[in-house]
Amino acid sequence: MTKRPVAIVTGGGTGIGAATAKALRSDGWDVVICGRRLAPLQSVADETGAFALVADASSEENLAHLVNTTIGKFGGLNGLVLNAGIVRAGPVGALSDGDWDDMVRTNLTGPFKLLRAAMPHLINSRGAIVGVGSVAALRATGEIPGYNATKAGLNMLLQSVAVDYGPQGVRANTVCPGWVRTEMANMEIQEYGASLGLDREQAYARATSFVPSRRPATASEVADVIAWLLSPKASYVNAAVIPVDGGMIAGDPGSIALDPRINFSSF
């Protein structure tokens, strides 16, 4: 019997991570999901058959345990999804050292340490890595400089992995989502809508008014791209940074005011 491929998905209890676990399980993978909270992880595990493990993606000790447990249970590692991340708001002049350090530790240093722990196994399997970045890594989003910088750093970290380990068969790519309907985004969009007297759907519609697709993504739409990048169908895709943003970053901000399809009176 052919051995099933094995993947680790960080931040696998909610949002894009949970949707990725579901997509990979449907594609025949064994999946280990990790996160800080057991309850959402167990819910995803019960639904998908993934193996849940509580682990802090910023803790080197936890990450080593994650890799060792995966290898001990499944005998190998073929895919790694670096999805865990946090955001702390505030422009540079107001951002605290603690908030900056938290984002660097979780969004950049944690992935580096997990990559280092997992690399021997990924080399052995000629495996694939996908980082979950953000359009904020490609275009500066206001008042989240730490998030912008760490997600941009994740893009370059994985491109460096592709350059260094591509000759050994390892692929590393990044997806950069725009607005995605996740628990975190729903909270942010509701806060935004409340300030304008809008409900959630109205707020999403307004937030995506300038996106060519005119809507947010679902988590499964991003997960499908991740699953494809991990699969043999993407065997010659390496060091790519792929926007999954409905066309958001393709638009020219200077020409938006000239677009006759946009009703600015609604703003």
- Could you read off the pLDDT of 123-170 as tens digits, one per residue? 999 999 999 999 999 999 999 999 999 999 999 999 999 999 999 999
Instruction: Please report the pLDDT score of residue 261 as a whole number.
Output: 79
Residue 2's pLDDT band (cuts 50, 70, 90): low
Single out the catalytic residue among 147, 165, 192, 204: 147
Nearest to 105 by CA among 42, 161, 58: 58
Residue 59 structure tokens: 């803790």
Residue 258's pLDDT band (cuts 50, 70, 90): confident
Residue 74 structure tokens: 């499944």
Question: 252 or 88, which is more confident?
Answer: 88
pLDDT at 267 over 80: no
Which residues, other chains included, contact 67 with Cβ-Cβ below 8 Å and sequence gap of 6+? 8, 77, 114, 117, 118, 121
Mean pLDDT of the chain: 96
pLDDT at 186 over 60: yes
Residue 263's pLDDT band (cuts 50, 70, 90): confident
Return the H-helix or E-strand segment holding 217.
Answer: strand 217-218
Question: For residue 248, which amino acid is it?
Answer: M
pLDDT at 264 over 80: no
pLDDT in tens, 35-49: 999 999 999 999 999
Tell me if residue 147 is catalytic: yes
pLDDT at 89 over 60: yes
Question: Rounded to an integer, what distance in angstroms lies between the CA atom of residue 9 and that of residue 133?
Answer: 14
The model's pTM? 0.96
Instruction: Please report the pLDDT score of residue 1 as a whole number.
Output: 47
Residue 8 structure tokens: 């680790």
Percent of the chain with pLDDT over 70: 98
